[in-house]
Chains A and B, each alone.
Chain A
Amino acid sequence: GQQLNQSPQSMFIQEGEDVSMNCTSSSIFNTWLWYKQDPGEGPVLLIALYKAGELTSNGRLTAQFGITRKDSFLNISASIPSDVGIYFCAGRNPPFSGTYKYIFGTGTRLKVLA
């Protein structure tokens, strides 16, 4: 099925470092979501974005809805070991498409070295 492109696919960082990842699409979206998935569990919603240019924070996490509406960014500041996991973006097509389907990214696998 259709998927968004996330980058990087995986990253290893040292504890305390900042992390940046992004998600790009060939289509415009009117909603972007960011999720984190731990092993053996379902994805957990981190941040929801509804407006182009919007910048939203949740603790050490900050996400932005790209101006072009074709991309979104997630930053994690001062990473800690429990940040390890897979981060997924998800975007929703404009409402006139008639679908309520979210398209999910391929995921960024984050490993934090203590």
Chain B
Amino acid sequence: GAGVSQSPSNKVTEKGKDVELRCDPISGHTALYWYRQRLGQGLEFLIYFQGNSAPDKSGLPSDRFSAERTGESVSTLTIQRTQQEDSAVYLCASSQTGGDQPQHFGDGTRLSIL
């Protein structure tokens, strides 16, 4: 498609399980970002990719969170041993080259931890 695509759109899982969230950026966009948005809150930066390298992982809240990117395409965000405080919407964005280029967002994955 033309926009950023995220899957699944919703995920409900039990505390302690691992989850994997997927992001397909806009074709040709080299920069990819992951954000977390808690209910009623703003966007919290998690990690930034330029190509398949991650020069800025400063927003990952703990070592339970990790992310990978294949080339300049798909990225996966993995949360291990999920906790209830991980419940949030996880948004992915991409931009042409990073830097000042505006970021275009997907519709997010709504994650609920029971």
Binding site for B on A (CB under 8 A): 1, 3, 30-31, 33, 35, 40-45, 48, 50, 88, 90, 92, 95, 99-107
Contact = CB atoms under 8 A, between A and B. Distances in A.
Contact of B99 (A43, A45, A48, A95): A95
B56 A45 contact: no
Interface centre among A41, A42, A101 (most CB of B within 10 A): A42
A106 B56 contact: no
Contacts of B58: 99, 101
Contacts of B59: 1, 101
> What 7 A-B pairs are tightest by C-beta distance, nearest first?
A42-B105, A104-B43, A100-B98, A106-B42, A42-B107, A31-B100, A104-B42
B15 interface: no
Interface in B70-114: 91, 93, 98-100, 102-108
Contacts of A102: 33, 45, 103
Nearest to B36: A1
Interface residues of B, number: 27
Given A100-B48, A100-B50, A88 B43 contact: yes
B42 to A, nearest CB: 5
A33 to B, nearest CB: 6
B108 A105 contact: no
Nearest to A99: B56
Contact of B105 (A1, A43, A106): A43
Given A95-B99, A100-B50, A44 B105 contact: yes
